Amino acid sequence: MDFSPPTPEAQAAQPHPFRGDALRRVPPSSPGHRAATTQRGPPKHRHCRPYLPFDNSTASPLRSHPRPLFPTCLTGRHPLISIQPVAPPPFHWWSAAPHRPFFAVGLVQMVLTIAWWGAELTARHTGWWPMLDIVYATWAHQYLMLSGFIPFLLCGFLLTIVPRWLGQAEIPAQKFVLAWSLMTAGALVFWIGMFTSEVLLGVGVVLTGLGWVLGWITLMRRLLRGGRAEGRRHVAYALTGAGLGIVAHFAWGVWLWRGDWIWLDLARELGVWGMMVLMLMVVLNRMYPVFAINGLHEQLGSLAPEVAPPTSPSWFLPLAVALIAGRVTLAVLGEQPSLWLFDLPLLTAAAWVAWGWRLPALIFAPLAWTLYVGWMWLLVGLTLEAIQSGALALGYGELFGKAPLHALAIGLFGSVFLGVAGRVCRGHSGRPMAADRLTTAVFILFQAAVLARVLGEFPQPGGDTPFFNIAAALIWVICAVGFAWRHLQMVVLPRVDGRPG
């Protein structure tokens, strides 16, 4: 038996103990030897041998077979790996888009808030509903209207739309679930505290505020990351309004804690003007031109007239921020007779914008003309505010009471909310953008509720009667239930087109 070592040529012709038969043997002296040994060396472990499956895309002229994908040392004794797709968790669509959980709780909160206030107004004149003894109902009404359901709707909208305005990726669920959980827990605790304990009221305010702050920080980080210049401008104004809303929220909590009425006034003025009015101005300036043109084409199709898109002047938002800041300052300081100095310029600027937005063809696009009607309520509210402030300056007293406030807080907010929320729910659930009959009927009926609430502040024949206020509350409850019933299913159920989101 010959125990002499084999020659290099004979050694290369033998199958490599670590490589199997997958490689063609190349003599060391040949030009391809270096390439063969460079492209694939022996495995790191002696017991490791290649196996199927093979990757045909990496086959080399130096090999008689393609390169194996995985060594057995990584997979054990099984020659094949069976990779099964992981099923998504149940109700995964619930957090697939930020507007889903926030809108769901916000719609429920809206129905509860308006239903409770309607019962409260009725109880004041019938006595069938026990009055609140933990906190005065009017101040609880202020909190629930400004911090009860609006933060949910605001966060759901901004967390969904801000990445689109900035041209960034969507915000993942782990970035907003904690904020939603804190806000939901705070809302629940506040409702319990209204009937049981003032301490629970404070806990509810803190929890809701912390969740709101987390959502605001998430959006601010997206803004600081960069994005489209035009989108950054609108996002900056929107986050300014949201930040003022957070300050108003905690101001109400400070009033609850210390009992100093200036904090309650600050919460009301910042909540109505700094958050609600400013935010809706930003949203309308950004979205109305798009809603108007797209709404015509979505509703009429090829029959849509060719019209130029409405224009939004770039100077309006900076001017509005400055005028609102001055107005809030004077209102908190108790200088109501001087508010017309800011109301009149703001009214003039808003009327100029409304003139540039006029589009007679919008009558055929309900989701678009709802926004224009909301802007008309802004003009009505500013007009009443300016006249009332001027009357105070001349010594005539308040002429319209809270009519200007409700023209803004109900007319402006409610009309814009029905239009924007309806479009967001439909677009992100895979449904057509055209408004159905129920949504259109709810919007028209809602205008009757706003009109009744505004008229309720004017002098009534026969003295002060609660008819208009109670009627407005009942009509608003009907509208809220109808809108929530139609749109809740859009945010709690999967998309009808099967797409994610």
Summarised one tens digit per residue, pLDDT across range 340-388 is: 999 999 999 999 999 888 776 666 667 678 888 999 999 999 999 999 9
In this prediction, residue 419 has a pLDDT band, given cuts at 50, 70 and 90, of confident
What are the two backbone dihedrals, phi and then psi, of residue 50, each rounded to the nearest 5 degrees? -70, 160
Q: Rounded distance, CA 326 to CA 357, Å?
A: 27
- 123: enclosing H helix or E strand: helix 99-126
Whole-prediction pTM: 0.78
Query: Taking a C-beta distance cutoff of 8 angstroms, is the pair 499, 430 a contact?
Result: yes
Q: Rounded distance, CA 115 to CA 93, Å?
A: 29
Does residue 53 have a pLDDT over 50? no
Give the start-to-end residue ranges of the domains of the chain: 102-492
What is the pLDDT of the chain when averaged over all its residues?
80
Q: Which residue has the higher pLDDT, 372 or 87?
A: 372
pLDDT of residue 229: 82
Percent of the chain with pLDDT over 70: 73
Q: Which of 52-61, 127-136, 414-423, 442-451 has the lowest mean pLDDT?
A: 52-61
Q: Rounded to whole angstroms, what are the CA distances from 281 to 218, 266, 271, 354?
A: 22, 20, 14, 12
Statement: 102-492 belongs to CATH 1.20.210.10: yes
pLDDT tens figures, 146-183: 999 999 999 999 999 999 999 898 888 888 999 999 99
What is the arithmetic mean of pLDDT over 1-29?
51
Q: Rounded distance, CA 492 to CA 105, Å?
A: 10
Which amino acid belongs to residue 475?
I
At CB < 8 A and 24+ separation, what contacts does 474-480 make? 474/118, 475/445, 475/446, 475/448, 475/449, 476/114, 476/118, 476/410, 476/414, 476/446, 476/449, 477/111, 477/114, 477/115, 477/118, 478/445, 479/442, 479/445, 479/446, 479/449, 480/110, 480/111, 480/114, 480/115
DSSP designation for 466? S
Rg (C-alpha) for the chain, rounded Å, is 33
Under 8 Å CB-to-CB from 160, ≥6 apart: which residues? 97, 98, 99, 170, 424, 428
pLDDT of residue 34: 47
Which amino acid belongs to residue 22?
A
pLDDT tens figures, 226-262: 888 888 999 999 999 999 999 999 999 999 999 899 9
H helix runs in 357-407, sequence order: 366-393, 403-406
What are the two backbone dihedrals, phi and then psi, of residue 263, each rounded to the nearest 5 degrees? -70, -35
For 204, the token pair is 């509810």
What are the two backbone dihedrals, phi and then psi, of residue 290, each rounded to the nearest 5 degrees? -70, -45
Q: Rounded distance, CA 345 to CA 347, Å?
A: 5
Cis amide prior to 53 (ω within 30 degrees)? yes
pLDDT of residue 93: 55
Does residue 57 have a pLDDT over 50? no
Helices (H) and strands (E) in the chain, counts: 18, 2
- 54: enclosing H helix or E strand: strand 54-55
Which residues is 50 bridged to in the sheet?
Answer: 71
- Among the ranges 42-51, 127-136, 182-191, 359-368, which has the highest mean pLDDT value? 182-191
Q: Rounded to whole angstroms, what are the CA distances from 343 to 116, 237, 378, 392, 407?
A: 32, 20, 11, 14, 14
Does residue 50 sit in helix, strand or coil? Answer: strand
CA atoms lying within 13 Å on the CB side of residue 117: 25
Does residue 21 have a pLDDT over 70? no
What is the arithmetic mean of pLDDT over 72-77?
47
DSSP designation for 17? T
pLDDT of residue 295: 65
- 13: enclosing H helix or E strand: helix 8-13
Q: Rounded distance, CA 30 to CA 335, Å?
A: 97
Find tokens 């308040």 and name the residue.
Answer: 398
In this prediction, residue 132 has a pLDDT band, given cuts at 50, 70 and 90, of confident
pLDDT of residue 497: 72
In this prediction, residue 406 has a pLDDT band, given cuts at 50, 70 and 90, of very high
What is the arithmetic mean of pLDDT over 270-274?
95
What is the arithmetic mean of pLDDT over 15-26?
45
pLDDT of residue 457: 86
- 470: enclosing H helix or E strand: helix 467-492
